[in-house]
Amino acid sequence: MPELDPAAIPASRRRKALAWIAIALIVAALALAFAWVAGWLSPGRLTPQRFTNAIEAANGQVWRGFRRAHAKGVCVAGYFEGNGQGTALSSARLLAPVRTPFVGRLSIGGGSPYGLDARARVRSMALRLDSDDGQQWRMAMNSFPFFGVSSVEAFYEQTRANTPDPATGKPDPVRQAAFARAHPEFARFADWAAHAPWSTSWANTTFNGVDTFRFVNRAGEVRNVRWSMQPQTPFAEMTPEQRDQADADYLAEDLAARLARGNLRWDMVVTLAQADDPVNPSQSWPEDRPRVTVGTVVVESSSAQATGACRDINYDPLVLPTGVEASDDPILAARSAVYSVSFNRRQHDIASGEAAAATGHAATRESDR
């Protein structure tokens, strides 16, 4: 094959390619930096690769071409409408009274792309917001209000404790009990999972950022914050009978039906910390902390993740605009590093599958990715 002359490539294509390469290098450098700060790159220490291996093992198998966690979901699109109330807290452009488009994803917890919607205790919302000043803000939020454990190492052990025993296909209850004894703080999360009411829809689920971030305003003032997306759709509790009778894909079906009738909205509510409030996501802040509604997420449409715009996005929570910074939350850095490893493995799966498909031996199911 003759060598391609770079001069023959149109300038617009060269600029676009260079821009994407620059973005990829920045994201990779950020992930590497946070992994270094977290101590993940030290010999003998827990690494993002080992953690991702544990997630794959806990899934029971590797589902090629899918996200290693929250494998089942749908793409959504719409806009975030800032109301200006957040501009005193952060210089981020999208908090001004402007509309910012996003590509998002709604999903359920678990590593199987064929999971049963009604059996997934955790639901998630991810957003990539593209500001008109050329910056991005990526968010990854969950339906639980706090994290189960206080350290990356404990999270790793929790993942390993949930790995199925090959003999039974289920987690070993003895190992799970040993984990719970070693990490008594997990009891609060277990109580939430067992007793908190289930919502009937993605549309009436509250999604929490859980991790702590820093808002920086134009005067340079810094404030620790957490945020939640609180639905304007009224909450309705799903009964055990409804969960038993629900279709496997009922969340996606319900979402499509609701969107056919109109847009869906969540208010972004920011909680402001006091100086002594912990950054660790396993520890809640007192209920009396000030809250500010800074805008509204408006979902206009949904599409299958196999062909939707969200398919190839890594919703790394450390891709942040000017005016928003990472805190010292240890799990936040770990999430970013593991997301990067998972994303790279998934993209490799997809590329391999598409190459195999060209010869008639597809390694992945295109319709399900």
Q: What is the 3-state secondary structure (H, E, C) of the chain?
A: CCCCCHHHCCHHHHHHHHHHHHHHHHHHHHHHHHHHHCCCCCCCCCCHHHHHHHHHHHCCCCCCCCCCCCCCEEEEEEEEEECCCCCCCCCCHHHCCCEEEEEEEEEECCCCCCCCHHHCCCEEEEEEEECCCCCEEEEEEECCCCCCCCCHHHHHHHHHHCCECCCCCCECHHHHHHHHHHCCCHHHHHHHHHHCCCECCCCCCCEECCCCEEEECCCCCEEEEEEEEEECCCCCECCHHHHHHCCCCHHHHHHHHHHHHCCEEEEEEEEECCCCCCCCCCCCCCCCCCEEEEEEEEEEEEEECCCCCCCCCCCCCCCCCCCEEECCCHHHHHHHHHHHHHHHHHHHHHHHHHHHHHCCCCCCCHHHC
Nearest partner of 345 among 27, 22, 112, 62, judged by Cα: 62
Q: Under 8 Å CB-to-CB from 230, ≥6 apart: which residues? A: 206, 266, 267, 268, 269
Question: Out of 70, 183, 348, 361, which one is annotated catalytic?
Answer: 70
Task: Tell me the C-alpha to C-alpha distance, in Å, between residue 160 and each of 123, 177, 188, 333.
Answer: 21, 12, 19, 20
Decide: 203 and 261 in contact? Cβ < 8 Å: no
Residue 195 bears catalytic tag: no
Catalytic residues: 70
